Chain A
Amino acid sequence: MNLSGWLLALIQTTLFVAAAPLFAAWVKALKSRLQNRRGPSLLQPYRDLHKLFHKEVMVAHTASPVFRAAPYIVFSAAILAAMVVPLVAARLPTAAIADVIVLVGFLALGRFFLALAGMDVGTSFGGMGASREMTVSSLAEPATLMAIFTLTMTAHSTNLSTVIAHNLETGLILRPSFLFAFMGLTLVALAETGRIPVDNPATHLELTMIHEAMILEYSGRHLALMEWAAQIKLMLYAVLILNIFLPWGIAADFAPGSLLLGLFAITAKLVILGAALALAETGLAKMRLFRVPQFLNLAFLLALLGMLSQVILEVGA
Chain B
Amino acid sequence: MNLAQLSLGEQGTLMLSALVLLTSFALLAQARLVACIHVFAWQGALVGLVTALVALTADTPHLYISAALTLALKALLIPWMLHRLVRRLNMHRHVETLMQPTVVLLFGAALVIFSYVVVLPVERIELAATRNILAISLAVVLVGLLMMVVRRQAVTQVIGFMSLENGLFLAAVAATRGMPLVVELGVAFDVLVAAVLFGVFFFQISESIESLNVDRLNRLSETGEDDS
Contacts and interface: CB of A to CB of B under 8 A. Distances in A.
A302 B112 CA distance: 12
Interface string B65-102: 00000000000000000000000000000000000011
Given A305-B22, A314-B2, 9 more contacts: A175-B11, A301-B105, A301-B109, A305-B18, A305-B112, A313-B14, A314-B1, A317-B131, A317-B132
Contact of A176 (B2, B14, B29): B14
Contacts of B132: 312-313, 317
B120 to A, nearest CB: 7
A308 B3 contact: no
A301 B103 CA distance: 11
B8 interface: yes
A304 B3 CA distance: 19
A157 interface: no
B100 to A, nearest CB: 11
Contacts of B14: 174, 176, 313
Interface of A: 170, 173-176, 179-180, 183, 293-294, 297-298, 301-302, 304-305, 308-309, 312-314, 316-317
B217 interface: no
B56 interface: no
B2 to A, nearest CB: 7
Contacts of B194: none
B18 A176 contact: yes
Contacts of B170: none
Contact of A308 (B22, B29, B109, B131): B109
Contact of B15 (A179, A298, A314): A179
Given A301-B105, A317-B120, A170 B113 contact: no
7 closest cross-chain pairs (CB), A and B = A176-B18, A174-B11, A174-B15, A312-B116, A317-B1, A297-B102, A301-B105
B135 interface: yes
B109 A305 contact: yes
Contacts of B109: 301, 304-305, 308
Nearest to A304: B109
Best-buried of B108, B109, B120, B128 by chain A (most CB within 10 Å) = B109
